[in-house]
Amino acid sequence: MAVAATQTGTPSSKHNIEAMRDAFYARIAQKDMAPLWKVMKSVVTKEPVTRCQPHVWHYADVKSLVMESGGLITAEEAERRVLILENPALHGESRITNTLFAGVQMIMPGEVAPAHRHVSSAIRFVLDGEGAYTAVEGEKAFMAPGDFVITANWAPHDHGNPSDKPMLWLDVLDFPAVNFYEASFAEHFEDATQATRRKDGDSLAFYGSGVLPDGTHAMNRSPVINYTYARTRPIVERLMQSGDIDRRHGARVRYANPVTGGPVLPTMSACLAMLPKGFRGEPYRSTDGTIFVCVEGRGTTAVDGKVLEWGPNDVFVVPPWKRYSHNAPEQSVLFSISDRPAQEALGIWREGN
Ligand code: 1HN
Dump the DSSP string for 238-264.
HHHHTT--BTTTBEEEE-B-TTTSSBS
- On the CB side of 339, how many CA atoms lie within 13 Å of its CA? 28
Domain 55-352 top-level CATH class: mainly beta
Quote the DSSP letter at residue 198. Answer: B
| pLDDT score of 4 | 47
Share of the chain above pLDDT 70, in %: 97
Tell me the C-alpha distance between 337 and 100, whole Å: 10
| pLDDT score of 2 | 44
Mutate to test the pocket of ligand 1, among 82, 158, 189 (most ligand atoms within 8 A of CB): 82
For the chain, what are the domain ranges? 2-43, 55-352
Mean pLDDT for 6-18 is 71
Mean pLDDT for 62-91 is 96
Q: Looking at the predicted structure, is the pLDDT value of residue 346 above 70? A: yes
Q: Looking at the predicted structure, is the pLDDT value of residue 306 above 70? A: yes
Asked if residue 105 has its Cβ within 6 Å of ligand 1, the reply is yes
Q: Looking at the predicted structure, is the pLDDT value of residue 6 above 70? A: no
Asked if residue 80 has its Cβ within 6 Å of ligand 1, the reply is yes
- 36: burial class by Cβ within 10 Å (0-12, 13-18, 19+)? exposed
Each residue of 98-130: pLDDT tens digit?
A: 999 999 999 999 999 999 999 999 999 999 999
Cα 59 to ligand 1 centroid, rounded to whole Å? 20
Asked if residue 328 has its Cβ within 6 Å of ligand 1, the reply is no
Asked if residue 270 has its Cβ within 6 Å of ligand 1, the reply is no
Quote the DSSP letter at residue 38. Answer: G
- Of the pLDDT bands very low, low, confident and very high (cuts 50, 70, 90), residue 14 is confident
Instruction: Specify the ligand 1 atom closest to the Cα of 94.
Output: 9
Tell me the C-alpha distance between 254 and 44, whole Å: 32
Asked if residue 173 has its Cβ within 6 Å of ligand 1, the reply is yes
Tell me the C-alpha distance between 28 and 254, whole Å: 51
Asked if residue 274 has its Cβ within 6 Å of ligand 1, the reply is no
Each residue of 147-157: pLDDT tens digit?
A: 999 999 999 99
Cα 177 to ligand 1 centroid, rounded to whole Å? 15
